[in-house]
Amino acid sequence: MRYFKNKTSDIEAYQTFVEPLDDKYHYVAYNDEQKSYDETVKTMYEKDYAQFLKIQNATTGFRRKLFDSLTLTYRSYFEFEYAAKWEDLSLRAITEWDDLDEPGNGVSYSTTKIGYAAIISHLTSQIPPSKLHLNHRIANIDFSGEKTKLTLVDGTVIDEEFDYVIVTSAMGHLKKFARKLFTPQLPKRLLNAIDKIGMGTSAKIFLEYSDTTWMDSFLSPLPVAGCQGRKELGTIESEFNTFQKVPWAPNLFMGWIAGHGPEKVDAISDEELSKIVTQLFRDIYRNESIPEPTAIIR
């Protein structure tokens, strides 16, 4: 929070404002079916936010810009958790979230102790190596006969035929290829469902450094328009709200991006991205000696 020097009261006012919103939006999601379908998280927030700005007498000016920057943290909370742009995220989606926590516990479960690699290792241990074909993308699944045939993108038809094929591809892959992936084509009701199911993105970038003495274990950068020569926020820097050291690779600084962030970051080169994040870090730490990353892993 290095940009908010001497603005503690404004930060506290904003924290007080957002504290009850989660419970409020959960209540609407579970108790007002029509509204939970009609409203998005963004439209709900904007109504509450407009009222907050009026109470704070901050509808314009620098304090408005400060609160707008703080809003990025609240926006990212939903965009990270649901991998969706908050203007597309129906309140109804809240009812589908389940991390196996009990009310009041504040517990989330993850694979931190074993990682996904251990899960994959367990699954592959049950399958003969000769049956595993990595980097073989399927172009067509022909289930028109008694047995199912698989064709690769290079035109090769796999010799073995199958009784069953379980498709676990990502929704984005299905949205792009569903109409030519299957023979015969999937029923219209399934194709319509694939088209209509919402899909967003949540991504990470890894910045590699040889010198890490300057960085914190966790960083939530919030640049403010009007501070340190910024007339407006950069479209890329405003998407980075969370960085953290990777515990098992402390020379890596991992940045989380969601919402519009992945699309924006994908559209620029590593060189451009390096300059943007480096300037952001230098401004936050007021340290012009912070180096550019030696590598960027996307």
Count the domains in the chain. Answer: 3
> Are 192 and 246 found together in one domain?
no
Alpha-helical (H) ranges within the chain are: 8-18, 21-31, 33-38, 41-55, 61-82, 115-125, 171-181, 188-196, 261-266, 270-285
Q: Which domain holds residue 206?
A: 202-297
Taking 50 as the pLDDT cut, the residues of the chain under it are: 1-6
Distance in angstroms (rounded) separating the CA atoms of residues 149 and 136: 14
The CATH number that applies at residue 274 is: 3.90.660.10
Provide the CA 77 distance to its chain's centre, in angstroms: 9
For the segment 230-275, what is each residue's pLDDT rounded down to a tens digit? 888 889 999 998 999 998 899 999 999 999 999 999 999 999 999 9
Q: Is residue 16 part of a domain?
A: yes
Phi-psi region of 37 (alpha: psi -120 to 50; beta: other; left: phi over 0): alpha
Q: Is residue 120 part of a domain?
A: no
Q: Which tokens belong to 106?
A: 């504040």
**pLDDT given for residue 1 in this prediction:** 41
> Are 188 and 217 found together in one domain?
no
Q: Is residue 30 part of a domain?
A: yes
Q: Is residue 192 part of a domain?
A: yes
Residue 55 near residue 62, CB atoms below 8 Å: no
- Longest CA span, the chain: 73
> Are 286 and 209 found together in one domain?
yes
Q: Which tokens belong to 8?
A: 């503690």
User: What one-character DSSP code corresponds to residue 191?
Assistant: H
Domain stop point among 169, 196, 223: 196
Distance in angstroms (rounded) separating the CA atoms of residues 5 and 69: 14
> Are 217 and 178 found together in one domain?
no
Going by C-beta distance under 8 Å and a sequence separation of 6 or more, which residues neighbour residue 117?
none
Q: Is residue 140 part of a domain?
A: yes
Q: Which tokens belong to 234?
A: 């950069």
For the segment 75-101, what is each residue's pLDDT rounded down to a tens digit? 999 999 899 999 999 999 999 877 776
